[in-house]
Amino acid sequence: MKKLLCVVSLAVLLCFAFACQNKAEKAELEKFRAQAKVEEQNKVIIMKWLESINKGDFDALKQLVAPAYLFYAPSRSAESISIDGYIESIKTMKTAFSDMNWNVLELIPAEG
């Protein structure tokens, strides 16, 4: 009986020790998974963004941005333009370069 009590006590102690150790590791792993999920979602948004520009589907493009979206193009001016202004500039480029097509060669996620 005394041996059984020692074995059970030791087993409970080991389970407690391993359970406490894994909580911090599990929390870190979940944080990493959440960040990876956000990065994948951002990649999908960028791919949809470029696909909608290539197809000329500007209604889909408007669905991908917030209503207060502003675009800054330093080569144009220091002032920002709205999504409608951005779409007009894309239409102008597509008129001038009818075979214009944007391709993604590599996506590098922004971290932090």
Region 53-70: mean pLDDT is 90
Whole-number pLDDT of residue 54: 92
Whole-number pLDDT of residue 6: 62
Mean pLDDT lowest among 3-17, 41-55, 80-94: 3-17
Name, in order, each residue with C-beta under 8 angstroms of 107's C-beta and a sequence gap of 6 or more: 43, 46, 47
Classify residue 20: in a domain, yes or no: no
Classify residue 57: in a domain, yes or no: yes
**Which pTM does this prediction carry?**
0.65
Region 75-81: mean pLDDT is 77
Classify residue 47: in a domain, yes or no: yes
Quote the CA–CA distance of 90 and 50 in Å, as a whole number.
Answer: 11
Whole-number pLDDT of residue 52: 93
Classify residue 10: in a domain, yes or no: no
Region 97-101: mean pLDDT is 89
Region 61-67: mean pLDDT is 88
> Does position 90 have pLDDT exceeding 80, yes or no?
yes
Classify residue 15: in a domain, yes or no: no
Task: Give the angle 53-39-74 at the CA atoms, nearest 5°.
Answer: 50
Total domains present in the chain: 1
Q: Is the dihedral of CA 26, 27, 32, 35 positive or negative?
A: positive
Classify residue 7: in a domain, yes or no: no
> Does position 109 have pLDDT exceeding 60, yes or no?
yes
Domain residues for 72? 25-104
The chain-wide mean pLDDT, for the chain, equals: 81
Per-residue 3-state assignment (H helix, E strand, C coil) for the chain: CHHHHHHHHHHHHHHHHHHHHHHHHHHHHHHHHHHHHHHHHHHHHHHHHHHHHHHCCHHHHHHCCCCCCEEECCCCCCCEEEHHHHHHHHHHHHHHCCCCCCCCCCCCCCCC
